[in-house]
Amino acid sequence: MYTLIINYTSREKRYALVNNSMIEKLVIQQPQQQSAVGTIYLGTVEKVLPGMNAAFINIGEEKSGYLHRDKLASFVQAQKDKNIKEMKSVSSYVHQGEKLLVQVEKDATGAKGPRLTGIIELQGTHMIYMPQGRYVAVSKKIEEQDLREELRQFGHEAKKQEEGLIFRTTSRNQPKEKLLDELEQLREKSKELQITAGSLKKPGKVLERDSMIEEIIEVMERLEISEILVDDLALKHELQVHCDIPIVHYNGKENIFSVYKLEHEIEKALKRIVWLDNGAYLIFDEAEALTVIDVNTGKYIGKHDLAETAVKTNEWAAAEAARQIRLRDIAGMILIDFIDMKEEKDRNRIASLMAQELRKDDRRTNIVGFTPLGIMQITRKRIKPAISEALMVKCPTCDGKGRVLSPETVAFRLERELWEHRGSDYAAVLIEATEDVQALFSGEQNVHKQRLEELMGLEIIFSIKLSPKPEYEIRQFGTSEEIRRKARI
């Protein structure tokens, strides 16, 4: 059973799922990074790509969206055999310059624009309505087969041929009249969307969805939650409509995340190294294309032999790595470099444990297996940026590389650049450099500096450059007097 803690009073919205005092999921949404998933746009087909069976759609944002043929309303609505439909190219279903209503399925990440669908979904309390969906589905959380079949039958009777319906968990035991009323309301909402879209003269937003609230409602429906704590009274009333779970309104002065000791977990989710209780640790290296997790025994030395130490450490590491993947919202390709295990049964044991832990995840994950080098390969569906991408920016000093040129490298680079000016008509040069570069360039008691001055016939005058990384800048060549005056020596 989970406790759901929601911090909604400030501009940065957050919620956490806690199980047995251990945080299992953390979601943070800042205004400038608010997820666009679910937002509906009027788009214009910018480019049709038969080779990719897709089209790029201008939605009036910085990046164009990607729309696959199978997500086009015209493809779904085509009255043809499925095999015949799939044999036709995207060009048969859409053309350049065409205007379409589209909805964001996946946020833009890195250089990629958002992924779109032409099958619009409108959220209701008890159902999701798709004006052009053509199918009926029932929430997997409704497990009773008779009830599932009854809702499917009702859905097929209530909807028009081109429409689609997904019955949410809250539709369980709802009167048919109430469900029909909601369906009519959603149909009216769809008509209003068409009118709004028709009034737009260029691509742009038609309906913005509060994805955070909808995500919280989905979590409430999907998981077994024993308690909900929220610091916003209006949100409490809104959520209470969707569940029978008691919702507690927190109105203390201290931030709700601080009260329940969750701030520390946010800091841990941004750190490169995560320590395990036994003294072992994980190292996370996140890149745009993949994330590498390295497992190290650290201070843990085991009680018996090396093989047992490796397997035991890997068991703890697998459980924590799975939790951190959820917590950090890491997606795409994930490689875990476990401590080397010689026995196949040990690798299978770790893979089985990893699969068990990843089943707690609401995101689609797939364990591909171990490579010949013993590295576990995992893929996880990417929907939005990871926590680190959402909360952090590239270091302005190293531009996200994590490393800068050493003072030695910069000093030698300066020496090479000065050599290009040997034999010039100038008597002196002014160089602005950080103290570490000056010291390494000059050597003890200025021995290297004096040697270069004699060889080049050029007086080298330094001024201090304040910078967090080793660097220099050649400011001016001239006579010794003017350079010294410039340097105020």
Q: For position 170, what pLDDT does the model report?
A: 82
Q: Which two tokens stand for residue 82?
A: 């499925």
Region 120-130: what's the mean pLDDT? 92
Task: Tell me what pLDDT residue 304 has.
Answer: 61
Name the pLDDT band for 300 (thresholds 50, 70, 90). low
Residue 278 has pLDDT above 60, yes or no: yes
Tell me what the pLDDT averaged over the chain comes to: 90
Residue 270 has pLDDT above 80, yes or no: yes
pLDDT of res. 306: 73
* Number of residues assigned to the chain: 489
Q: Which residues of 81-100 are buried (b: 16+ CB within 10 A; e: fewer)?
A: eeeebeeeebeebbeeeeeb
> For the whole model, what pTM was predicted?
0.68
Q: What is the largest CA-CA distance in the chain?
A: 97
Mean pLDDT, range 241-252, rounded to an integer: 88
For residue 422, the model assigns a pLDDT of 86
Task: Compute the average pLDDT of residues 397-402.
Answer: 81
Summarize pLDDT for 130-146 with one digit per residue, the tens. Answer: 999 999 999 887 889 99
- Of residues 229 and 392, more confidently modeled: 229
Structure tokens, 447: 């021995």
Inform me whether the pLDDT recorded for 223 exceeds 90: no
For residue 28, count other CB atoms closer than 10 A to its CB. 18
Q: Is the pLDDT of residue 212 over 90?
A: no
pLDDT (0 to 100) of residue 488: 77
End-to-end CA distance of the chain: 72
For the chain, list the domains and their CATH numbers: 2-34+210-264 (3.30.420.10), 40-207 (2.40.50.140), 272-391 (no CATH), 407-487 (3.30.2320)
